[in-house]
Amino acid sequence: MNLKRTIGLIAAASYLFLHVPLLVLIVFSFNSSRFTAWEGFSLKWYAAVLADERMLKATWNSLIIAFVSTIFAAAVGTLAAYGMWKKKAPVLEGSLYVSLITPEIVTGVSLLAFFQWLFHYMDVRLGMHTVILAHITFSIAYVVIVVAARLKTMDGTLEEAALDLGANHWEAFWRVTLPNLIPGVIAAALLAFTISFDDYVITAMVAGIDSETLPMVIYGMARKGVSPAVNAISAIIVVGIGVLIVASERLQHE
């Protein structure tokens, strides 16, 4: 057996190892039995998901949180990346990685402590707004890193050319730099959206009574024993998130 084939086999085995659990999940989401033995094709678990008020409410919450936090994180993160690019601030850029490698549970606890401290001075409680704030916080680092990568490939003289032709700094950013960054910004936003939609640990720490998200519902259901409805909703998430990730990757390499 030659080297190329061996490497190919190893790669195939790795992919199987990675994706077989997902495939099993998706296959059993169409199983008519509630047990992990194939009985026949059925969409009843998908129907069950659609009939589950709590799950629909949680999905709606997750979408709102992901959408709002992505908009803010994309805006703030893009400006931050732009500022660091202009000022060439390697320390600031490096500090972003700290927020990426901080264990989620630590980020969650610190955010909770921060909110509790704030509550002494402001009449607010944990809820959608705290979840959204938390998600903006951890999404910004991802946005900055993706947008910064795009900026590194951008011709630095483009802005000078814009100024030279009579644009002020604001117009140069708005009409020249930003349009050239857009693929990177969208890629970053898609990434932030998926990370927000997925998040359990931080969300569970800072969520209130009205802000149960889909991962929290799934976690609660899974603890009571795996219902095939969980498979169904998980399969929908896998496919949805997969599409977003592929789109994000494509845009990053455009």
Partner 1 sequence: MPPVLELRSVSKHFPTHVAVRDVSLTIDRGKLFALLGPSGCGKTTTLRMVAGFEIPTSGQVLLNGSDIAPLPPYERNVTTVFQNYALFPHLTAKQNIEFGLRRKGAPDLDQKVAQVLDLVQMKGKEERKPARLSGGEKQRIALARALVLEPDVLLLDEPLSALDPKLRKQVRSELKALQRRVGITFIIVTHDQEEAMMLADEVALMHKGVIAQLGTPEDIYLRPANRFVANFLGAVNWLGEFGVRPEAIRITRDLLPTGDRCRPASVETVMFLGNSFHVQAKLSDGRSVVTEVSRLEKPFAPAERVRVWWNQEDEIHLPPESA
d(CA 31, CA 38): 6
- Residue reference for tokens 């009843």: 44
Answer whether 133's CB lies under 8 Å from 127's CB. Answer: no
12, with CB counted inside 10 A (0-12, 13-18, 19+), is exposed
- Give the CB-side neighbour count of residue 6, counting CA atoms within 13 A: 3
State which of positions 152-171 bind partner 1 (CB under 8 A): 155, 157-158, 160-168, 171
Nearer residue to partner 1 within complex by CB, 19 or 175: 175
The distance of closest approach from Cβ of residue 63 to partner 1 in the complex, given in angstroms and rounded to an integer, is 31
Site string for partner 1, 136-155 (x = CB under 8 A): -------------------x
Number of chain positions touching partner 1 (CB under 8 A): 17
Return the HEC string of 95-126.
HHHHHHHCCHHHHHHHHHHHHHHHHCCCCCCC
- Is the Cβ of residue 171 or residue 249 nearer to partner 1 in the bound state? 171
Nearer to partner 1, 7 or 158 (CB): 158
Q: Does 186 bind partner 1 (CB under 8 A)?
A: no
- Report d(CA 76, CA 84) in Å as an integer: 12
Q: Roughly what angle, to the nearest 10 degrees, separates helices 128-152 and 228-252?
A: 30
Q: Which is nearer to partner 1, 66 or 185 (CB)?
A: 185
Question: Is 175 among the residues that bind partner 1 (CB under 8 A)?
Answer: yes
Binding mask 98-137 for partner 1 (x = CB under 8 A): ----------------------------------------
Positions touching partner 1 (CB under 8 A) are 155, 157-158, 160-168, 171, 175-176, 179-180
